[in-house]
């Protein structure tokens, strides 16, 4: 996929896209949550995937900070550095713990 210039990027469109996972029933296992929210970028094994960011050794606190704050939000065109923030209305603290527990089993 080609990069889009910043002026072509509509933040409202991105927010609508990030909201899509919330429209399907929320998974109830760490594996299901990981596959829905993390796999596309970090890979099925959490070793980097398409963004090259290995999260296999990150614990709950590291994950909490990154998931709640996000990264690269000032420049979505840098998609290899971009991660949206997910609030507790999308991924609860308990679900985030389930995700990090699942990652530890990979």
pLDDT at 75 (0 to 100):
66
pLDDT (mean) for 76-99? 86
pLDDT at 1 (0 to 100):
55
pLDDT at 35 (0 to 100):
95
8-42: pLDDT as tens digits: 767 777 777 766 665 678 899 999 999 999 999 89
**Residues forming a β-bridge with 71:** 83
Is residue 100 within 8 Å of residue 58, measured between CB atoms? yes
Report helix, strand and coil shares of the chain as percent, to nearest 5: 50, 0, 50
Domains along the chain with CATH numbers: 29-105 (1.10.760.10)
Average pLDDT of the residues of the chain: 84
Q: Which two tokens stand for residue 52?
A: 């090259």
CA distance linking residue 104 with residue 106, whole number of Å: 6
Q: Which two tokens stand for residue 17?
A: 């896209």
């Amino acid at each position: 996929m080609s990069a889009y210039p910043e002026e072509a990027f509509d933040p409202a469109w991105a927010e609508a896209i990030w909201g899509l996972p919330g429209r399907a029933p929320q998974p109830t296992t760490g594996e299901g949550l990981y596959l829905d929210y993390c796999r596309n970028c970090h890979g099925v094994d959490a070793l980097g995937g398409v963004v090259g960011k290995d999260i296999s050794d990150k614990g709950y606190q590291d994950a909490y900070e990154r998931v709640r704050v996000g990264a690269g939000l000032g420049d979505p065109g840098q998609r290899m550095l971009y991660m949206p923030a997910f609030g507790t209305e999308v991924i609860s603290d308990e679900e985030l713990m389930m995700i990090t527990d699942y990652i530890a089993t990979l």
